[in-house]
Structure 1
Amino acid sequence: MPRKLTFPTSSSSLSLASSSGGTPITPTFSTTPSSLSFSTLPSSTNSPFPRLDLPASLSDPSLPFPRLIVFDLDYTLWPFWVDTHVTPPLKINPTHTGATDRTGEEFAFYDEVPEILAVLPYLNSPNKIKLGVASRTSAPSLARELLKGIHIPPTASFADEDGNNNNNHITSKKSSSSATKKKVAIDVFDGGLEIYPGSKIKHFEALQKRTGIRFEDMLFFDDEARNRETERLGLTMKLVMDGVTWEEVGKGVELWRSRRHGG
C-alpha cells in the first residue's frame, strides 16, 4: 500500500535513524523547516572527515567505493511525492533549506540528506565520487525547481578545526572558496539527472552514456522494490524504506563491495 505523507499539527523535526546503527524510525514531516544538525562525535581516525560519526564502512578511504552513486527522489531524498503532494507555485524559504507550496505546506530533504550530499563525494578522496538522480516522477520541472532552491552546506564544515581533514584532501577554508560556500543542491549531481516517467533502465542507460562509468561501479538508492530491475544492467541497488541516512549509505556501500569485491 502506498505510504501517505502526513503533516502533524505540532512542529517537530524529522525523526532520524541513528547513523551508528540504531533502529530506523519512520520519519514524519514537520510543519516548520527542519534545521541542519551535524554530528561532532568522533569517527574512525582514518576518516577524511574526523568530526563526523560515519558508519565504519565509510570511514576508511583505502577501501573501494562506487564511482557513481545515484538516488531516487520521492521517499528517498525527500519524504513526499513531488507530483502529488506539492501544489505549485513553490516559494523557497529564506534559509534555502526547503520550500512552501501554494497551500502553505513545507517541503524539504530528509534531515541527514544535506550532510550526505555535501560529504559523500569526498569519502574516496582524492577520487571524487559522482552523484546522480534517477526519478520517474511525472513532475520533473517541479522536482528540478526544488533542487535548485535548496542549498547544502559546504564540505569544509566537516573538516577539522584547522580547516583540513586528516589526509589533507580538503584544502584550507581560506584557500578553497568552493569548499566554504553553500552549494545549490542540483549542482551536486555531477553524474547527471534523469527525471521523467518510465522504466529506470532507460535512466541508467543515459547515466552510463553520459559518465562513461561501468554499471558495475554504480550504487543506486531507491524506495521501490520494482526498480530492482535495474540490477540486470550490472549495478547494485539498495532498497531504503524510510529515506536515505548515513546508516543506509553505509549498508549500501557494504552491499556494493560484497557483490563487486567479495568483501
Structure 2
Amino acid sequence: MSEGEGETSKAVRNTAAAAGTLGCLASPLILGGGVVIVIIIGGFGVLLAPVIALILLFGGGGGSDAANQDYGEQAQAAFEGDGKGELAEGTVPDDLLEPIEDAGGVCDAIGPVVIASQIMHESGFNKDLVGPDGEEGISQLPPEKFDEFGDDGDPFEPEDSIEAQGEYLCRLAEDVQGMIDAGEAEGEVLDLTLAAYEVGLEAVRAGHGIEGNTEAQAYVAGVRAQFARYQGIGGTLDPTVGPTPTST
C-alpha cells in the first residue's frame, strides 16, 4: 500500500466498513447539476462511491442528463470489468506508455489498464515516493519484492519499477489461480491478485479470499475505480495529474 492515495481512494476506504453485509447493487443517481453518482456494492461486499472519480471524469457533470447517465453506466461497466482493454490514448505519460503496455502483456490475467490504474492508486505516478513500510518508487513494491522481480534495476526508475510490478502481479495471479483451483480461496483472480499485492498472499489464503478483509476489499475497489480513467471513459485527463500523497 502506498503512502499517497487520492480522494477517490479515501472515499472508498471511508465507506468500505459500512457495507460488508450488503448484496450486489448498482444504482445510478442524478443529482443537481446533472452530476451522475454511481453507487456500487460489488461482489466482494465493498460499498463503492466513486463520486470524485466521476466528477473528475465528466467535468463536474456538464452535458445532458442522458449523456451523464451513459457515462456513469460505462464507468460502472469498467469498474466491474477485467481491465484487459487497451489504454486510451493520452491517459499515461508518453515515456511510460511502452513500459506499462509491456507490463500488461506479461500474462493474460493482467492488462495495461490494471497496471496504470494500480500505479495511480499506489503513487499517483510519483517515481520518488517512499511508502510508510518502505515501499519504493512509482509501483510501491516492497524492497524484497523488487529485488526478486526487478531484474537488478533501480526501484526509483519508473521503467524498472513497472517491469517488476508486472512480473510480480503475474506471479501472484498464478499463485491465486492455484489457490482457487485447490479450493483454498474464492473470488475473481484479478481481485485476489490485487489484494495479495496489498495484504500479502498468505493473508488472502488465510481468509479464503477477501470476504471480510476490509483493507483488501478497499484496495481492490480503489484500483478498480481507476479503470474508467484509463479506458478513456468521459474524456482524457492530464496523465501527469494524480492524487496528492498523504499519510495513511
Greater RCO, 1 or 2 (C-alpha within 8 Å, sep 6+): 2
TM-score, length of structure 2 as denominator length: 0.28
Normalising by structure 1, report the TM-score.
Answer: 0.27
Higher strand share: 1
